Amino acid sequence: VIGVVIGKTDVRSFPDRKNIGSERYTFSFTIRDSPTYFINVNSWGREEYIRSLSESFRVGDCVVIENPLVQSKEVEREEKFNPVTPSSYKLLLSENHSIVKTSSCYEMDTKLLSLLHLPVKDPQDYYSLGDIVANGQSLDGRILNVLAAVMSVS
């Protein structure tokens, strides 16, 4: 699978249920290979492997993923913690079988770079900040998608 990384989480650890007293590490990222399709990638393993993998690329890099495990996603559970994707699958990376290589998007396909700036939501599914201010009471308690741009940071 070849795509541009459009999102990435920090490395997290959880107690290992099988080996009491030890921890398992994880992080996730989302790759996109066309305007319509993008998929979440999860990786679990030893701290050294996960930290090394996470530090090997960043958002905006193009990656080649070899030998991922393709799994059906559990929609209710998956989409609480990961971006909603149009695919009913996710990719799982294994320390023993999977490889992630970074490459220049220019070398692979310059079209991949343009995918980095496309919204992942339907353009009709956003509220502007003005709409939220004007209709705040009627929107109370609802989950909203907001499309905004940062003008400055100070």
Domain boundaries, the chain: 2-115
154/152 Cα distance (integer angstroms): 7
Strands (E), the chain: 2-8, 12-15, 23-32, 38-45, 62-66, 69-72, 89-93, 99-103
Query: What is the value of pTM for the model shown?
Result: 0.78
Q: What is the CATH number of domain 2-115?
A: 2.40.50.140
Number of helices (H), then strands (E), in the chain: 5, 8
Q: What is the DSSP letter of 127?
A: B
User: How many beta carbons lie within 10 A of that of residue 59, not counting itself?
Assistant: 12
pLDDT value for 80: 66
* Close Cβ partners of 94 (under 8 Å, ≥ 6 residues apart): 45, 67, 68, 69
pLDDT of res. 98: 93
Q: What pLDDT was estimated at residue 108?
A: 62
Q: What is the pLDDT of residue 84?
A: 80
Q: What is the mean pLDDT of each run of 10 residues along the chain (154 residues)?
A: 91 86 90 91 93 93 93 75 82 92 72 76 76 81 77 87
pLDDT score of 17: 82
